[in-house]
Structure 1
Amino acid sequence: MTAELTYASAGELVAMMARKEVSAREVLAAHLARVDEVNGDVNAIVTLVPEIAEAMAQRADDAIAEGHVLGPLHGIPMAHKDNHVTAGIRTTFGSRSRADFVPDVTDLTVSRLQEAGCVTIGKTNIPEFVAGGNTFNDVFGPTRNPYDLAVTAGGSSGGAAAALATGMQPLADGNDFGGSLRLPAGYCNVIGLRSSAGRVPVWPAADGLVGLSVHGPMARTVDDIALMMSVIAGPSRLAPNSLDAPGSVFAAALPEDGLAGKKVAFSVDLGGAIPVEPDIAELVRAAARSCADAGADVVEDCVDFSGAAEAFRVLRAWAFEAGMGAHLDEHRDSVRASLYDNMLAGRTLTGPQIGAAALMRTTMYHRMREFLERYDTLLLPVAPLAAFPVDQEYPTEVAGVPQPDYLGWMESAYDVTLSGHPAISMPAGFTPSGTPAGVQFVGRHRDELGLLASAKGFETVTGYAARHPAL
């Protein structure tokens, strides 16, 4: 029964609880047992709050006894990303400078999840202040890939992805600036959606208008991604850039033939913008063939990404200095040196540099907009190489090309970020070493529904996510 429950989808679990086939307390007990069984290996959930979870599960069962469900996520166990503040629950940001921080507010994404009936079980691991594509920090240590404990689970939502892959929770929340939902999803054989800015309102936020960092869902099925979006999307006065469409638009069933008749462009290397390892290039080509098998018209083509990486780096460094500069100065001796250096890069930027980056962001938006007027979606690699050793901060080279820093190898993800278009990371198979790899589909501006339909079509013909790690 435990195995049946821990790898059931969120939608299935809610339906089972509504039919009184299983209680929320039994669902919680199964997932906590799974945490006990495997979390010591992967280190995905770093703070556990069973007493809080048990009280929430009891509330869900009481509601069923009274004849109603709490909401679309009734009784679903979830650990929240450790940079999403949770009132009364330690939120460390993966930093020694915040190791004992207990917030007195809960962020909007988590609040909406809880209002929809989810059961909070704890927090998932992240790199310090979510900086980087490998999840490790001085507070909790590294998160390991459940398919190979010697390699990374990706980042920054590495704990969330590993918890999903191992059946410790059926849904996970995260955020994506330079690939933090997509990269770990690709490395852990799960799904991560980077939604359009404002689709999921973010609060608290130091800058609520820039929109480079967005909140979004992770899950093991596309249907569960849509289910979670139906809860966390929708307008809020707390977020000045929030979109008006209600989350309920994501509640409708997705078509299994969502790729049929669509025109799909693909590129193994972002049109030559990045180096890519041969194994990853072949997985992207195989994904393109799967799209054709699903009825899509597939063409090898790519938008022009020139200048995107440089602009992203400028805007990211500027955001780091603006949002964290004072805190990092105060705690310089206890934060990662590379993180502090990245903030300093923002401090030395000039007005013309920031202005040029902002203009490039608009240029990149229009390039992608025009490109996706000719195609329905763009298929790209999520990462340019297989999951690398977990004790390595970042890969120093890709396909023989040296990488300058911990951001270099992540360009496949953050070039897409700069365009402002939604993107979803989908399981795309396994490398010769046996670790998962993902591809990302980029959708039209604010067209998450169309993007989810394409992802559902891809999921239907591939089924990679049905394979689970042998822990």
Structure 2
Amino acid sequence: MAADQALVKETACAVVDKLKSGEVTPIEVLDVLEERIAEVDGAINALPTLCFDRARGHAAELMKKPPAERGLLAGLPVPIKDLTAVAGVLTTQGSPIYKDNVPARSDLMVEHLEGNGGVVYAKSNTPEFGAGANTFNEVFGATRNPWDLSRSAAGSSGGAAAALASGTAWLAHGSDMGGSLRNPASFCGIVGLRPSFGRVAHTPAAKIDRNLGVQGPMARNVEDVALLLDAMSGEYAADPLSIPSPATSFLAAARSRQKPLRVAYSPDLGITPVDPEVAAVTRKAAERFAEAGVIVEQAQPDLSEAHECFQALRAFDFAISKADLLRTKRDLLKPEVIWNIEQGLKLSVDDLAKAEAQRVAMTARTIEFFKTYDLLLCPATITAPFPVEQRYLAECNGHTFGNYVEWLGIVYAITLVCCPALSLPCGFTATGLPIGLQMVARPRNEAGLLAGAALLEDILGLKSTTPIDPRPAPASL
């Protein structure tokens, strides 16, 4: 039977329904994706490592069970970001140091996802060690944005976002420290959700309570993201910070469309320049909540210490996780990673104490803010997709950034205050490039976040804009 390419345009929820009813099999949906990847991914480079033999072996084992017993995802294929170990599959972290690394065991998150019926068929591209919000590396090269192949897909989950936008995935795994689920979602016109820490269990590395970075789901619409979050969530003793899944599923929460009473919009969180077109599009989208009777006001919590705080804590994270590589493999590290590790090694205990105190204070102010507002809305990324050759955004609206991370303040400020947040497609630039709206809820309120996002998604009417075929850069005028 030939692969039915019409399935590419189906939602993940619809394909799972077909898998559970027996209308299609896990093997057949893998055939669909393999054919689609061959057709479009050469231009995009979203999924540089494929493992279809492994996937078909897993799918064949699933098919020995009745469809109703194949788990929440019932055999739906899911690519894993190349920072995360998958047993028997090349896992490079985008670094020449690990260009031949094939781990013997998967990360706990992957084991859990496969236990819930997910089938791993590919690794998605990422910048080296996830450092930087433009997906390129010395192992596989750059991932290009399907909306305009001359543009960046952002990062660090850029391969995952580009795969979703181009129809080579229905769902995708990603991770996020300074916006790595949200930035590429914004650039590629899909949905990326950073959960509260502990929501998705993973194998601890370098530090038990290392919580700036989290694992999370990406998809082409809010309900699909909720489905994958359900499949990723759960408590495991191997991750002591992990928390139990809620009694009501995240998919049910999204489908409830429960209306927030009052939301806040901020064009810049009071901390960053923003491209005027991005600010205008996101403001217009936020104000459309009023069509559902939601009160929309301009406000934000005080996040004025975010830049100093995040730069210190991020540098510390690089120092504890990568200092040995700096000592032994310096010549194989990209300059941005070297800089980040060195910044971390310069920190004193007083520097860290100050940063942690700033984080506590900002989190307390943010939680107080959510006593008045159900959601906080702002741009997910301060710019539209920029040229893929540009390593990072050096300037915005007349402001020059001091390093390769500072332009991400609008997302890493939310990382610091422990809130779940997602990027929702909310409009386009005059040249047709996607823009994302960041939506934020109080800690552990993914249910309220997903319900509000699904409601606004309905109002905006943009959830059928992907998948698309890769689009070349427009001809110069």
TM-score (norm 1): 0.96
Q: How does 1:410-429 map to 2 (within 5 A)?
A: 410-429=408-427
State the distance in 1 between where 2:85 and 2:345 align: 26
Compute the displacement of 1:242 (Å): 1.4
State the distance in 1 between where 2:199 and 2:193 align: 11
Q: What amino acid is the match of 2:79? A: A
2:76–2:118 CA contact under 8 A, matched in 1: yes
State the distance in 1 between where 2:169 and 2:244 align: 30
State the distance in 2 between where 1:470 and 1:18 align: 28
Compute the displacement of 1:95 (Å): 0.3
> What SS does the corresponding residue of 2:151 show, helix, strand or coil?
strand
2:253–2:447 CA contact under 8 A, matched in 1: no
Go from structure 1 to structure 2 and tell me whether the alpha carbon gap of 1:170 and 1:87 turns closer, same or farther (over 3 Å shift).
Answer: same
Q: Where does residue 12 of structure 2 map in the other structure?
A: 10
2:192–2:423 CA contact under 8 A, matched in 1: yes
Q: What amino acid is the match of 2:52? A: P
1:189–1:464 CA contact under 8 A, matched in 2: no
Compute the displacement of 1:256 (Å): 5.4
1:332 to 305, 310, 330: 330
Aligned length: 467
Q: How does 1:52-63 map to 2 (within 5 A)?
A: 52-63=54-65
1:46 to 37, 45, 48: 48
Q: Where does residue 459 of structure 1 map in the other structure?
A: 457
> What SS does the corresponding residue of 1:265 show, helix, strand or coil?
strand
1:230–1:248 CA contact under 8 A, matched in 2: no
Q: What amino acid is the match of 2:113? A: L
Runs of 4+ in 1 over 6 A off after TM superposition: none
What residue ranges of structure 1 are gaps of 5+ in the alignment? none
Go from structure 1 to structure 2 and tell me whether the alpha carbon gap of 1:247 and 1:116 turns closer, same or farther (over 3 Å shift).
Answer: farther
1:135–1:157 CA contact under 8 A, matched in 2: yes
Q: How does 1:120-159 map to 2 (within 5 A)?
A: 120-159=120-159
Q: Where does residue 241 of structure 1 map in the other structure?
A: 241
Compute the displacement of 1:250 (Å): 2.5
Q: Where does residue 475 of structure 2 map in the other structure?
A: none
The one-character-per-residue Cα deviations of 1:37-83 (angstroms, maximum 9, x if unpaired) are 1110110001011211222222233324xx64310111211211001
Q: What amino acid is the match of 1:170? A: W
Q: Where does residue 101 of structure 2 map in the other structure?
A: 101
Q: How does 1:42-441 map to 2 (within 5 A)?
A: 42-64=44-66, 68-246=68-246, 249-252=249-252, 254-255=254-255, 257-259=257-259, 261-271=260-270, 273-441=271-439
Q: Where does residue 21 of structure 1 map in the other structure?
A: 23
What residue ranges of structure 2 are gaps of 5+ in the alignment? 471-477
Go from structure 1 to structure 2 and tell me whether the alpha carbon gap of 1:245 and 1:26 turns closer, same or farther (over 3 Å shift).
Answer: closer
Compute the displacement of 1:120 (Å): 1.2
TM-score (norm 2): 0.95
Compute the displacement of 1:255 (Å): 3.8
State the distance in 2 between where 1:155 and 1:299 align: 30
> What SS does the corresponding residue of 1:37 show, helix, strand or coil?
helix
State the distance in 1 between where 2:436 and 2:125 align: 21
Go from structure 1 to structure 2 and tell me whether the alpha carbon gap of 1:253 and 1:319 turns closer, same or farther (over 3 Å shift).
Answer: closer
State the distance in 2 between where 1:158 and 1:254 align: 25
Compute the displacement of 1:202 (Å): 2.0
Compute the displacement of 1:167 (Å): 0.9
State the distance in 2 between where 1:80 and 1:304 align: 35
Compute the displacement of 1:227 (Å): 1.2
State the distance in 2 between where 1:434 and 1:256 align: 31
> What SS does the corresponding residue of 1:122 show, helix, strand or coil?
strand
State the distance in 1 between where 2:247 and 2:223 align: 14
> What SS does the corresponding residue of 1:45 show, helix, strand or coil?
coil
Compute the displacement of 1:288 (Å): 1.4
Q: Where does residue 34 of structure 1 map in the other structure?
A: 36
The one-character-per-residue Cα deviations of 1:130-149 (angstroms, maximum 9, x if unpaired) are 00100000000000000000
Compute the displacement of 1:312 (Å): 0.5
Compute the displacement of 1:210 (Å): 3.1
> What SS does the corresponding residue of 1:465 show, helix, strand or coil?
coil
Q: What amino acid is the match of 2:11? A: S
> What SS does the corresponding residue of 2:439 show, helix, strand or coil?
strand
The one-character-per-residue Cα deviations of 1:327-356 (angstroms, maximum 9, x if unpaired) are 232110011012111100000111111100
2:95–2:139 CA contact under 8 A, matched in 1: yes
Compute the displacement of 1:424 (Å): 1.1
